[in-house]
A and B are shown apart, each in its own frame.
Chain A
Amino acid sequence: MNLYNGPWTSAEAAHLLRRATYGASFPQIQLAVNGGMHACVAQLLNITPINEPLAYDPGEQIVAFGQSWVNAVYPADVTANQQTEAARRKSLGAWLMQNINQEQLNLTQKMQFFWQNHFGVTSSGDARAMYQFLNLLHQNALGNVKNLVKEVATDPCMLVFLNGSTNTVFSPNENFSRELLELFSIGKGPQVAAGDYTNYTEQDVAEGAKIFTGFIVQGVRSSTQSQVTSQFMPQLHDSSTKVLSYHFGNQTLSANGAQEHLDYIDLIFAQPETAKYICRKLYRYFVNYDISTWVETNIIAAMAQILVNNNYEIAPVLEALFKSEHFYDTSVRGAIIKSPFEAVFSMLNSTGSVVNFDLQTSSQMYLTMYTLADQMGQEYAAPPSVAGWTAYYQAPAFTKLWINSTYLKKRFDVALLMTTNGLTLNNQNFSLNFLGLLNGLSAPAAAPTVIQDLCTVFCPKVIDPADQLYLKSLLTGGLPDFEWTLQYNEYLADPTNPTFYNPVILRVKAVLNTLFRMPQFHVC
């Protein structure tokens, strides 16, 4: 991939930040412009540590309000046990949204969700196990994909989700073995003969099932175990010699107990197609849904080579991608329709708006956002299937699948909510930081510049002059531009006086109310 050496202006910086994060503010974009591309990409390649989710819902009956529950047992009583699980799930959902809203300007959150989509895991029935799984994705978000697949293979959540925990020598269960090949590693190619999917065969699925036999899960919603764990049981493992298909050179895997599946995953990753499969998914997630022959030859192959050369470390691949000429090509800008998280959190994060009330109120507001995103087709802890969300794989529509009549209404409802009354719970009101947004722009007193800057933040391409004029008329209330300048300067002179700041907020709200419902806002 050629290194990008074109202009580095707010258009390029905003493009990179829109793709790599859930939303940068105007000042953050300016910092990225001033620091240059290399510094910006270096900053993106960091992982922010995150705090554990905290108990806030009265259903929780073990740990105290405000304490972490991730290493706490469950009540023995069945009803109390269920109530506690429900409370912990709420806490987990709120925590996921909080992490996105409070992300640092790096790839942590986008990549954690990339892996959540990649493995498609839905909760195992124990919120602690789901937390452990999500934490595994977080820790490895920019790490080594081969190691991550190995870890995931015996993760309790995955073992329950794809029936690994009941996969034994006495009754092999193919579920995980199939999805490992088809979705998590090498990917399924066209069916070239009966049971032969180009990269593997039904024989590999069946033999793989045997390889993964013997792992059990202990402690689900246990009143004595503080964590859900997986354990290898030699007597449940199929210790026969496994014979793979010709796609793997008819290799045999001799019995190697608890390490045997690691040998198998090494073999899968030794196939060149595996790196390509992972890189195609990264490309679709970060660049464009359409993988043309040119992209396959010039971009995917190069990314895959970097992945292999770096022993399956993800960071070098993304570093090269985000510095590549292709990534900044105007043809791929705005090619992605925003996911519900991208749509909702670009409203919050790009305006520097963070939910910050008492724990219970904040959590309930974040849980509301979790539910709203679910109604738009994206429930974080419950992908629609093990293949993840259709928008990332279903040809030919791809991200167009985020938009249909039902989802669209909900998106617009959220946009209206955020630009009118905001979210009110427990007598607390969460509104976007309209004044902060405005004051961070390059020339808040100049109406045309305000509109230009807002479009830099929220729209991937310059919008039509007529649309810009219309948005400006919303800012000025149809009056000449200088009236806005007067209004803004009055507010600046007396910034705590509602007589002056309220009219300013009202005008900014009016602009965003329309902008957030324009098609140009919903692409990135």
Chain B
Amino acid sequence: MKRRAFLKNGALASISLPFVQNGFSMQAIAKELFSVPKSAEDKVLVLIRMNGGNDGLNMVFPRDQYAELVVQRANMLVPENSILPLTNTVGLHPKMTGMQTLFNEGKLSIIQNVGYPEPNRSHFRSMDIWTTGSLDINQTSGWLGRYFESTYPNFPDAYPNVDYPDPFAISMGSEVSATCQGLVGNFSHALSDPFSSSSLPLTPVVNDGTYYGSQIEYISTLINQTNEYGQQINSAAVAGNSLSNLYDPQNPLAVQLKYVAQMISGGLKTKVYILNVNGFDTHDAQVDALDFKEGVHANLLQRISDAVRAFQHDLQLLGLEQRVAGLTFSEFGRQIASNGSMGTDHGDAAPLILFGSCISSGIIGTNPQIPNQINSQAGIPMEIDFRDVYASLLKDWFEVDPNQIQGLFEQNISYLDLLQGCTNSITQQETFSAQKALVFPNPSLSKHQLRFNSAGAHYEIFLVDQQGKVMAKVLDSFVQAGVFNQSFEVSLLPQGSYYYLLKSAAHQELVAFQKI
């Protein structure tokens, strides 16, 4: 990385201040703030992307409104008696027997009507929104990329290393996942076959600070990572195991999930696996003209359902069930009414599927309301914000501190109870406490805001580095009672971990942030 000058004002020389705060040394607090709880260290999240915009209404059926569905999509609706019942009012597509089984075993949950405000019906923009976890057009990092960046700083330059020898995420196939995009590198490692390994030659390069320099440095880093991660993956896959006989070798998703099971059982510490299924952009011939239960979409659903069922079965046999949870997502659902080509056009919200033995099984949310007449271009309105689903997974599954999570998302998070049953780690609803100070966005690139609840007192706020050195005093004045909110320019700060130390007569607090 290029060296950057520190802060514009040269007068802000650092003052050495090895002080102790509330009985803890700064170093200890730093560790506390950024460490991952032991119980969450071996948790794995599997994401399955349904690329193209999945027709939620042909996957999860509001059984109580079949008559309305007939009004909307008579030219493609599966017969009522073939829908697989989950509850009295909710059913699955007839091809999804595998997932029906998981639901009955308490290992599958449907999250209804997931979307975001002001839906965007462009594949590309909407997929950006889902992968960045943000509605901000300028947000380019992925939601998992931000989480990783705030927890494991200095990626990709500092990785792999002794503490983190394995890729943070693996994207099955030949492309990395936008969910894991950080500001410099992508935290996901693209992998086609964990059993193939070969070493690439590495020529060290120098980044001269130009576009050229950053590109050749990137390629060089990737060569190094490919070699080191490749060896780790290969050893894990060879050491690993797969016990289920339910995987269909003709089903590409099943083959990939089997690889995932082998890597997990072989001890790979990768936290996230991302898999991709193409083909959901079903503008025409979504169903078979002679049998509406069959067709392109039915086959895609069956592939996912069967593969997840086999994977879950494998994890059970391997004794790994409690370590793995999975989630499906797609850029949008489709319009309520079908079009004239036995297909559906781009719509809005749609259901997500959550699976694993630790998830709180059942139906989260309510059935969408299907009108009894066709409204041109109407989609399913959002009920649950997808960013809340992500945030809830981070909190309950990876046990991330809610304040850190709030720094990753722009909206005020409402947590959902997604995980229960096996660990029951956090049951009560926790939300951002206005008593605690917050830096947003965190990690920060150029500007961020510091927010805290002032009791109405004289405050001194210091910027402190990882070694406990005070870099600058950024505030020294009376702060009125209420929420204090101020922007700070940090673009010239070298990358690393920092804190704001808030001090008043009655209130002392540290809030950490990452500069990237």
User: Inside 8 A of B203's CB, which chain A residues have their CB?
Assistant: 467, 514, 517-519
From residue B431, how far is it (CB to closest CB) to chain A in Å?
Answer: 27
Are the CB atoms of B118 and A178 closer together than 8 Å? no
A285 CB to nearest B CB, Å:
15
A272 to B271, CA, bound (A): 47
Partner of A400, one of B218, B220, B230: B218
Return the CB mask of B203-246 against A: 1 if under 8 Å, else 0.
10110001110011111101101100110000000000000000
Q: Is B124 engaged at the interface, CB distance under 8 Å to the other chain?
A: yes
Q: Is the CB of A182 within 8 A of B140?
A: no
A399–B216 Cα distance when bound, in Å, is: 12
Interface secondary structure of B, over-half rule? loop
Given A406-B192, A520-B216: A377 and B175 interface contact (C-beta under 8 Å): yes
A194 to B121, CA, bound (A): 11
Q: Which of B64-72, B93-101, B260-268, B338-346 contacts A (4 or more CB under 8 A)?
A: B338-346
For B137, the chain A residues whose CB sits under 8 A away are 190-191
Q: Is A173 a contact partner of B140 (Cβ separation < 8 A)?
A: no
A174: B residues at CB distance < 8 A: 345-346
CB of A188 within 8 A of CB of B205, answer no
Q: Does B29 contact A (CB under 8 A)?
A: no
- Give the residue name and chain of the B residue nearest to A404 (CB): B190
Determine the distance from Cα of A276 to Cα of B119 in the docked complex, in whole angstroms.
26
One of A175, A412, A520 near B205 (C-beta < 8 A) = A520
B118 adjacent to A193 (CB under 8 Å): yes
- Let me know if B200 is at the binding interface, CB within 8 A: yes
* A395, B229: Cα distance in complex, Å: 25
Q: Which of B121, B192, B212 contacts A178 (CB 8 A)?
A: B121
Q: How far is the CB of A430 from chain B (nearest CB, A)?
A: 23
A473 to chain B, nearest CB (A): 14
Rounded to whole angstroms, the CA-CA distance of A174 and B121 in the bound complex is: 11
Asked if B140 contacts A395 (CB within 8 A), the reply is yes
CB distance from A210 to the nearest CB of B (A): 11
**Bound Cα distance from A183 to B125, whole angstroms:** 11
Q: Let me know if A229 is at the binding interface, CB within 8 A.
A: no
Q: How far is the CB of B127 from chain A (nearest CB, A)?
A: 9
Q: Contact: A408 with B222, CB < 8 Å?
A: yes
The segment from B6-14, B181-189, B508-516 that touches chain A is B181-189
Contacting pair A335 B189 (CB below 8 A): no
B198 interfacial by beta-carbon distance below 8 Å: yes
Neighbour of B229 across the interface among A337, A405, A412, CB < 8 A: A405
* B428, CB-defined interface residue at 8 Å: no
Q: A171-B340, A173-B339 are in contact. Are A397 and B212 (CB under 8 A)?
A: no
Are B205 and A334 touching (Cβ within 8 A)?
no
Say yes or no: A206 contacts B225, CB within 8 Å. no
The reply to whether A171 and B216 contact each other, CB–CB distance below 8 Å, is no
Contact of A400 with B215 at beta-carbon distance under 8 Å, contacts A408-B226, A467-B203 already known: yes
Q: Which residues from B are CB-within-8-Å of A514?
A: 201, 203
Is A409 in contact with B218, judged by CB distance below 8 angstroms? no
Q: Are B219 and A337 in contact (CB under 8 A)?
A: yes
Contact A163 B283 (CB under 8 A): yes
Interface string of B299-342 (1 = CB under 8 A from A): 00000000000000000000000000000000000000001110
Is B191 on the interface with A (CB-CB < 8 A)? Answer: yes
Q: Which of B120-145 contact A (CB under 8 A)?
A: 120-125, 137, 140-141
- Is A403 on the interface with B (CB-CB < 8 A)? yes
In the bound complex, residues from chain A placing their C-beta under 8 Å from that of B376 are: 206
Assess whether B218 is in contact with A171, with CB atoms less than 8 Å apart: no
Q: Which residue of A lies closest to B225 (CB)?
A: A405
Report yes or no: A405 in contact with B191, Cβ–Cβ below 8 A: yes
The closest CB in chain A to the CB of B217 belongs to A519
Distance of A290 Cα from B204 Cα, bound (Å): 25
Query: Which residue in B200, B215, B225, B377 is a CB contact (below 8 Å) of A202?
Result: B377
What is the CB-to-nearest-CB distance from A115 to chain B, in angstroms, rounded to a whole number?
19
Contact digits for A375-404, partner B, Cβ 8 Å, 1 yes 0 no: 101000000011100100111110111011
Is A188 in contact with B340, judged by CB distance below 8 angstroms?
Answer: no
Kindly state whether residue B178 has any CB partner on chain A within 8 Å. yes
The answer to whether A171 touches B341 (Cβ under 8 A) is yes
Does residue A331 face the partner (Cβ distance < 8 Å to B)? Answer: yes
Interface band, chain B: 35 or more
Contact of A407 among B123, B174, B229 (CB under 8 A): B174
A288 within 8 A of B: yes
> For the complex, is A509 an interface residue (Cβ under 8 Å from B)?
no
Closest to B141 in A: A396
* Minimum distance in angstroms from B386 CB to a CB of chain A: 16
Q: Classify chain A: how many residues form its interface, as a range.
A: 35 or more
Choice from A168, A175, A334 contacting B212 with Cβ under 8 Å = A334
**Which partner residue on chain B sits nearest A400 by CB separation?**
B218
Chain B residues with Cβ below 8 Å from A396 are 140-141, 181, 183
The residues of B that contact A188 with a CB separation of less than 8 Å are 122, 124-125
A335 and B212 in contact, given A171-B340, A519-B219 (Cβ under 8 angstroms): yes
Which chain B residue has the least Cβ–Cβ distance from A413?
B198
Pair B222/A404 contact, Cβ less than 8 Å: yes
Q: Does B176 contact A (CB under 8 A)?
A: yes
Given A173-B345, A409-B200, A460-B212: A202 touches B218 (CB 8 Å cut-off): no
- Say whether B284 faces chain A, with CB atoms less than 8 Å apart: yes
In contact, A387 and B345 (Cβ under 8 angstroms): no
CB of A247 closer than 8 Å to a CB of B: no
Selected from A171, A406, A520, the residue in CB contact (under 8 A) with B174 is: A406
User: Is there an interface contact between B201 and A401, defined as CB atoms closer than 8 Å?
Assistant: no
A440 to chain B, nearest CB (A): 26
Residue A170 at the chain B interface, CB threshold 8 Å: yes
- Asked if A334 meets B229 with Cβ closer than 8 Å, knowing A163-B284, A174-B346, the reply is no
Q: Does A461 contact B (CB under 8 A)?
A: yes
Contacts of B183 in A (CB 8 A): 396
- Is there contact, CB below 8 Å, between A191 and B124? no
Q: How distant is B167 from chain A, measured CB to nearest CB, in Å?
A: 9
Most buried by B among A173, A337, A464: A173
The answer to whether B212 and A173 touch across the interface, beta carbons within 8 angstroms, is: no
A197-B122, A404-B222, A405-B189 known; A171 vs B339 contact (CB < 8 Å): yes
> Please, which residue of chain A has its CB at the minimum distance from the CB of B188?
A404
Decide if A522 is an interface residue (CB 8 Å cutoff): yes
Q: Flag if B226 contacts A523 (CB, 8 Å).
A: no
Q: Which one of A197, A331, A406, A409 contacts B120 once the chains associate, using CB atoms below 8 Å?
A: A197
Shortest Cβ distance from residue B389 to the other chain A in the assembled complex, whole angstroms: 21
Q: Is the CB of B118 within 8 A of A409?
A: no
CB nearest to A160 among chain B residues: B284
Q: Is A172 an interface residue (CB 8 A)?
A: yes
Residues of B within 8 A of A118 (CB): none
**Residues of chain B in range 36-52 having any CB-CB distance to chain A below 8 Å:** none
Tell me the A442-463 residues at the B interface (CB within 8 Å). Answer: 460-461
Whether A387 touches B340, Cβ cut-off 8 Å, given contacts A194-B118, A331-B211, A395-B140, is: no
Q: Does A333 contact B (CB under 8 A)?
A: yes
Q: Is A487 an interface residue (CB 8 A)?
A: no
Q: Which listed residue (A385, A390, A405, A518) contacts B226, Cβ 8 A?
A: A405
Whether, in the assembled complex, A332 has its beta carbon less than 8 Å from a beta carbon of chain B, the answer is yes
**Which residues from chain B sit less than 8 Å from chain A, CB to CB?**
118-125, 137, 140-141, 173-176, 178, 181, 183, 186, 189-192, 198, 200-201, 203, 205-206, 210-212, 215-220, 222-223, 225-226, 229-230, 283-284, 339-341, 343, 345-346, 376-377
Inter-chain pairs besides A162-B283, A166-B284, A188-B122, 13 sampled, C-beta below 8 Å: A171-B341, A173-B340, A175-B345, A178-B346, A191-B137, A193-B118, A206-B377, A331-B211, A397-B186, A403-B218, A408-B226, A460-B212, A519-B217
- What would 10 A/B residue contacts be, using CB atoms closer than 8 Å? A166-B284, A175-B345, A337-B219, A401-B176, A404-B175, A405-B191, A408-B223, A519-B217, A520-B205, A522-B219
The 3 closest A-B pairs by CB, nearest first: A171-B340, A334-B212, A335-B211
